[in-house]
Every structure is written in structure tokens, then in C-alpha cells.
Amino acid sequence: MKIAVIDYKMSNMFSIKNALDYLGFECQITANSKAILEAGGAILPGVGSFPEAMQHLQDLKLTNVIKEFASSGKPFMGICLGLQLLFSKSTEFIDCEGLNIINGKVENLSKYLPNEPVPHVGWNTVIQHKATRNNNSTSFLNSQLFQNDHYYFVHSYFVEPANPEHVFTQTSYANFNFCSSVLVDNIFACQFHPEKSGPKGLKIIEKFFN
């Protein structure tokens, strides 16, 4: 399977490419619409602010490309900001519309944890919340990679899916539970960084695209 790592000029794409290379996948970092749509799988990475990222996606004419790929049935992964961009809107700096592939919003952790250090940085556990209905990724769902396993986080915002069934894992930071990944049909997207989370993080990538 050839995997497109979507390049919108503000993400750490090379650590993801290194992970895919290590796992034996053929991959390409690209902003080319045709290359993305013809790939067997795609990853939307991301580091930085939501409004700036959306502006880059619009400038590069990638918003409709991402929506088309996400609706294709082929495996699509979002990582960190790449998870948040899939949602309807964000409150980061300004009210900003997202890709609206998943209904919901992106909120600031500081709003709920005013006395805790934000961003939330470091290793934390993820716990599987509920398998999505009508999802055929049986081996991925039952992979035992989401049962109190530790993954690496660095973020100040988190997603709130409108549909609770879209929440795949939850994580607790300072006793505040937030959605740390979603699984919606062919889309898996996570707030943590699997490419920076050692062997189990790599196994998530491998199982999802296989």
C-alpha cells in the first residue's frame, strides 16, 4: 500500500515518514491532489495552530481533496493537529471552521484545567471507550493496544465529538477525561503521536493500514 503524508507546510512529516519507512510501507510526502487521491492510505499530520493550518489547507486547495479521500473508504489517519482539523470548528485564538468531516468542536484544556500546566506534555495512558458501529477494522479494534497503554502527547486543545460513539479512546489529565482518539468508519485519528510512542505506537500505524 502506498501512503500519502499530506504536506501543508506546518507539520513534522519526516518523523511520520521515518516510521512508515521502518514499517516497510511505500510513502510519499505530498501536497499534490492527484497523488493523495490515488494513494491507498493517507495521513494528515500537524503541529501548530488550527487557524493557520486551515489557511494553509485552503491556500494549497487541499480541503476538498482531504474530504474526498476521507469519504473514499480507504484508511485515513489524523495525528495531533491532524485530528483536530477533521472537526467542525475550533476556539483556538478565534472561532475557526474546520474540515467538518467529523461533527464536533475543539476546545482549550485551560478552560477546564485553569490551575494545571498546559500544554499537556509527556506520556499518558489511553483507554478504549467504545468501538464504533459499522466499523470493519476488527483486528485493529481488538488489537489490545488501547488498554491502559502509554503514548506520547503534546497539546493544548482537545476534541469533543458531537456523537459519543465516535470516541474511541479517552485519556485523563489532572482528573479531566478527554477524547484522545476517534474511530469513524475508515478514519482513525488520535491526539497522541504514535510515531513518537515507541514499538506500540508503530504497531498502531501498522495495524491500521494493514
Residues recognised as catalytic: 80, 193, 195
What is the gyration radius of the CA atoms in the chain, in angstroms?
16
- Give the contacts of 135 (CB within 8 A, at least 6 positions apart): 141, 183, 184, 185
Within 8 A by CB and 6+ apart from 31, the residues are 6, 7, 8, 9, 60, 62
CA torsion through residues 107, 109, 113, 114, sign? negative
| Cβ-based neighbour number of residue 24 at 10 Å | 7
Which is nearest to 179 in space by CA: 86, 55, 92, 46? 86
Is residue 204 within 8 A of residue 161, CB to CB? The reply is no
